[in-house]
């Protein structure tokens, strides 16, 4: 069975091949949620528990001896809602919050400027009922999937707030987020890899969004590989899959091949 290997990066995702099968006995697996193992919906709340995804994650947790973490932009409580509390190890808010396999929680403090940013973003969004403001504590997301025509105004507002309040800004798929200083997804993966049960194995990370590039770079530094799901762009991932269905099919095929 071939090993996952690092590709020369960055490369256009269209030029990347599908990943070879994982070696489940020596892999630590990290998965983004939305756009990776769950389809993107109009609002975050529209994504909920899913029977097929539950079976897949349960099987992966068992076969990987717990070396599975979901690393997402969602808050911890929202990840538990969608995943039905079945995945112990979680990286949330793009790395600003993290729960270890044994239940310890680490979270960046919500800086005071975040409250000012939240108030300004809510005031802006009040004029358009199709905009959604998601308060995650140390981060605030402004979703414009239902009003794509106001994307430039949303980006301009959040970028100005970031500059004025000395906060970080990151863009996603039809969303822009402002956040307090702290770890990103790569930092969360590196922290997991320094502790049981992940330490000593090869990290592999599947993600779809621009914020997942931090994770791809982290696993590459640690001798592992990233798999970009669906995105068409220059990427630090080593392999690519065309979408959520392909990512889930690949993971299920790995389980079947090593059954």
pLDDT of residue 235: 93
pLDDT range class, residue 6, cuts 50, 70, 90: very low
How far is it, in rounded angstroms, from Cα 168 to Cα 217?
A: 19
The yes-or-no verdict on residue 2 having pLDDT over 70 is no
pLDDT tens for 238-250 read 999 999 999 999 9
Is residue 214 packed enough to be buried (19+ CB in 10 Å), middle (13-18) or exposed (0-12)?
buried
The yes-or-no verdict on residue 5 having pLDDT over 50 is no
Q: What is the largest CA-CA distance in the chain?
A: 56
Strand pairing partners for 31? 70, 206
Active site residue ranges: 32
For residue 170, which of 130, 136, 209 has the smallest C-alpha distance?
Answer: 209
pLDDT of residue 259: 63
């Amino acid at each position: 069975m071939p090993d996952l290997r690092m590709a020369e990066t960055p490369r256009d995702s269209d030029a990347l091949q599908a990943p070879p099968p994982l070696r489940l006995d020596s892999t630590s697996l990290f998965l983004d949620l939305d756009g990776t193992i769950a389809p993107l919906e109009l609002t975050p709340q529209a994504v909920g528990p899913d029977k097929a995804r539950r079976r897949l994650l349960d099987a992966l947790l068992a076969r990987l001896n717990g070396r599975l973490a979901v690393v997402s932009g969602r808050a911890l409580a929202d990840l538990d809602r969608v995943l039905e509390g079945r995945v112990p190890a979680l990286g949330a808010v793009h790395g600003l919050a993290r729960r270890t396999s044994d239940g310890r929680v680490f979270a960046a403090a919500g800086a005071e400027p975040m409250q000012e940013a939240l108030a300004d973003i809510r005031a802006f969004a009040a004029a358009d009922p199709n905009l959604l403001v998601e308060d995650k504590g140390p981060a605030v997301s402004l979703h414009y999937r239902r009003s794509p025509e106001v994307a430039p105004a949303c980006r301009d507002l959040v970028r100005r707030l970031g500059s004025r309040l000395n906060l970080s800004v990151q863009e996603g798929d039809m969303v822009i987020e402002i956040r307090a200083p702290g770890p990103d997804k790569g930092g969360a993966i590196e922290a997991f890899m320094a502790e049981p049960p992940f330490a000593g194995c090869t990290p592999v990370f599947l993600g779809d969004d621009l914020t997942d590039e931090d994770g791809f770079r982290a696993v590459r530094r640690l001798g592992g590989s990233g798999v970009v799901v669906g995105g068409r762009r220059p990427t630090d991932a080593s392999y690519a899959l065309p979408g959520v269905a392909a990512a889930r099919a690949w993971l299920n095929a790995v389980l079947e091949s090593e059954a």
